[in-house]
Amino acid sequence: MVAALLVHELLLSATLQLVGQHSSIVFGQEDSGPRLSATCGTGAPGIALVTPTEVDVSIPGNITVHFKNVATSCNNVPSSTPCVHDYDAFPALFWCRFSGATGDAVTGPFKASTELVEKHGVQLGLRVLMDCPQPSIAEVIAASGYTGDGSTKHLNLTVAYGPSVSDATTIPLDGPGTNRVAFVNLPHPPSQPPAAPPPSPSHPPGSPPPRIPPPASPATWGPAVLYSSPSSWNGHWDTAQDFCQTQGMDICPYEELCPGGRTVDSTLGQLSSDQWVAVTNQLGNKDFVQIGTRTSPRDDCCTVTDDSCHGGQGSEYEGWGSQRSYNAHIVCC
């Protein structure tokens, strides 16, 4: 009787240890019996740091996000929880956002990956990483408010997880590192043309009159400037023109923004997402032109009214409406 009580007490105080992330207790048959499992709290997903924290805008590359508390597998993980997908058919759900003083540059979606951590030949576990493409020079200028003074500009890199940018949940910075990235070697504006020479003195009496110079050629357009569209932007061509005029400029002619024509990058380069901006087309009508990655890279500098590009919309196109994912910028000349 005493022995039975001792055994009973030992059973009451026993500890059952499950080893492994997906361990469980199965009652009955493996494939059909009840299953008891438990998970350990690991904290909310966060960004530990990003590398590198300084990039040269003239050298394209990636910025790597180092995550913490992001599941290394999506097995048995809720669909809204950030995780590393185990097979190629699963959609990419991570979005990169570079935020600055005057706007954002968003790219994606992407997939995260795992990397084995080893030290002295001992496998310590898996880390979760993701590469965010470095934003273009035009996107850095638009998001940072760079004025052409040669200064270094900084953008904060955050990541969101979800089926679209608007439905994604932000994964915040959770140290010990930083998510602030410095962009160096931004271009200076072109130098000013030399001043006109002083007028010639009056010709002496009896001498032939001086030659009258030909009329000056019409003024050329200034360089195209990329702006993040303001919150009041409704996606219409007329509203873009109103915005440019508040900057002392106008909507760019197609030839100024795309001197190389169809399939050649614009003078602003290629933005890192599907982006259309308002222009005046070659007929002098309202139009929108692709300066992003739609069917990259062969749709560069195609217009909405071009039959071979966007199905044709007549000879004039007023605008996309408020779909900011497609027209998040305004370009003025």
DSSP string, 261-307: -TTS-BTTB--SS--EEEEE-TTS-EEEEE-S-TTTTTTTT-BTT-H
Task: Give the pLDDT confidence of 233-242 residue by residue, as tens digits.
Answer: 788 888 888 8
At residue 192's C-alpha, the angle toward residues 332 and 333, to 5°, is: 10
pLDDT for the residue 194: 46
Token reading at 216: 């000056």
Confidence grade of residue 215 (pLDDT, cut at 50, 70, 90): very low
Dihedral of CA atoms 143, 148, 153, 155 in degrees, nearest 10, equals 10
- As a whole number, mean pLDDT of residues 114-132 equals 89
pLDDT for the residue 267: 85
Beta-bridge partner residues of 280: 253, 286
CB–CB of 43/69 below 8 Å? Answer: yes
State how far the Cα of 333 lies from the Cα of 221, in Å rounded to an integer: 6
- As a whole number, mean pLDDT of residues 275-295 equals 85
pLDDT for the residue 177: 84
Confidence grade of residue 204 (pLDDT, cut at 50, 70, 90): low
Q: Does the pLDDT value for residue 287 go beyond 60?
A: yes
Beta-bridge partner residues of 331: 226
pTM of the model: 0.50
As a whole number, the mean pLDDT across the chain is 78
- As a whole number, mean pLDDT of residues 191-207 equals 51
State how far the Cα of 281 lies from the Cα of 186, in Å rounded to an integer: 30
Name the DSSP letter for residue 295. T
Name the DSSP letter for residue 319. B
Task: Give the pLDDT confidence of 290-308 residue by residue, as tens digits.
Answer: 888 876 556 788 888 876 6
State how far the Cα of 204 lies from the Cα of 192, in Å rounded to an integer: 35
Task: Give the DSSP H or E segment for 129.
Answer: strand 122-133
At residue 239's C-alpha, the angle toward residues 236 and 244, to 5°, is: 125
Nearest to 80 by CA among 21, 172, 167, 22: 167
CB–CB of 300/290 below 8 Å? Answer: yes
Q: Does the pLDDT value for residue 111 go beyond 90?
A: yes
Token reading at 188: 């200076």
Amino acid letter for position 145: G
Does the N-terminal peptide bond of residue 297 adopt cis geometry, omega within 30 degrees of 0?
yes
